[in-house]
Amino acid sequence: EAGVVQSPRYKIIEKKQPVAFWCNPISGHNTLYWYLQNLGQGPELLIRYENEEAVDDSQLPKDRFSAERLKGVDSTLKIQPAELGDSAVYLCASSRLENTEAFFGQGTRLTVV
Amino acid sequence: SQQGEEDPQALSIQEGENATMNCSYKTSINNLQWYRQNSGRGLVHLILIRSNEREKHSGRLRVTLDTSKKSSSLLITASRAADTASYFCATGYGGTSYGKLTFGQGTILTVHP
């Protein structure tokens, strides 16, 4: 079975520019997570979806971040405009059901210059 | 916000020795999960233990959970150089936050050949 696929793997942008990350979860997985991970830190939850519904977006900086999960499958995370402090690895994960093991993609490493 | 706190932050051992990592958390959980992260494979799920379980084994891994102390430990027996990685505990919530998965800061394990 294919794992969680994220693209792009790396992205370098100038500050104030927009950027988007894409995630294709494992087929049949209802729960989708977006995390942000800074170097030397654990992943921090940005948003969690159950099917197409964002059930937890309390940690998402809504002034510049947005996300969507079309038809409860693929998801896109967008930052507009990007700031220097947004440089991090953005991880997508999915799980079959809530409170089961999560499978992670390889992440997108964002560098804002 | 991150609920789990791992201890120690870093651990250095010789191949063949056992490695023990601890995780403490603050609020009631549905389950606790352990993940490994190295540069080659990203975040990989190791084991999930539910709040009504006290101990779980998987190969060379042994996880214990003490809900009265709000703590868990991960024991890796007969460690190998390939076990070198960062290890994270993640707490799965119940109640109104059912399905939320929050990571700690991690323990960096180095196994010397």
pLDDT of residue A6: 98
Among chain A residues, the shortest Cα distance to B32 is held by A99
CB proximity list for A92: less than 8 A, separation 6 or greater = A4, A6, A21, A23, A25, A32, A33, A34, A35, A75, A77, A104, A105, A107
pLDDT of residue B3: 67
> What does the alpha-carbon distance between residue B19 and residue B10 come to, in Å, rounded to a whole number?
11
Nearest CA-CA distance, residue A81 and chain B, Å:
23
Reading chain B (113 residues) residue by residue, the pLDDT tens digits are 556 788 999 999 999 999 999 999 999 999 999 999 997 678 999 999 999 999 999 999 999 999 999 999 999 999 999 999 999 999 999 888 888 999 999 999 999 99
Nearest CA-CA distance, residue B7 and chain A, Å:
13
Is residue B35 within 8 A of residue B90, CB to CB? The reply is: yes
pLDDT of residue A104: 97
The stretch A37-50 carries a mean pLDDT of 95
Q: Nearest to residue B36, comparing CAs of B83, B100, B98, B104? A: B83
Whether the bond into B8 is cis, omega within 30 of 0: yes
Q: What is the DSSP letter of A70?
A: G
SS3 content of chain A, % helix, strand, coil (to 5): 5, 50, 45
Q: Closest partner residue to B43 among A50, A55, A91, by Cβ?
A: A91
Helix (H) or strand (E) holding B65: strand B61-66
pLDDT of residue B2: 56
Name the residue type at position A102: A
Nearest CA-CA distance, residue B12 and chain A, Å:
17
Spell out which residues of chain B touch residue A98, defining contact as CB-CB under 8 Å: 98-99
Q: Could you read off the pLDDT of A74-109 as tens digits, one per residue?
A: 999 999 999 999 999 999 999 998 889 999 999 999
Is residue A32 within 8 A of residue A93, CB to CB? The reply is: yes
> What does the alpha-carbon distance between residue A3 and residue A27 come to, in Å, rounded to a whole number?
9
Test B42 with A107 for CB contact under 8 angstroms.
Answer: yes
Interchain contact A34–B (C-beta under 8 A) = no
Q: Could you read off the pLDDT of A1-22 as tens digits, one per residue?
A: 689 999 999 999 999 999 999 9
Q: Closest partner residue to B99 among A41, A48, A103, by Cβ?
A: A48
pLDDT of residue A1: 65
Question: What is the longest distance spanned by two Cα atoms in chain A?
Answer: 38
Spell out which residues of chain A touch residue B90, defining contact as CB-CB under 8 Å: 102
Contact map slice: A 49-68 vs B, CB within 8 A: 50, 55-56, 59
Test A45 with B102 for CB contact under 8 angstroms.
Answer: yes
Q: Is the dihedral of CA A109, A111, A112, B5 positive or negative?
A: positive
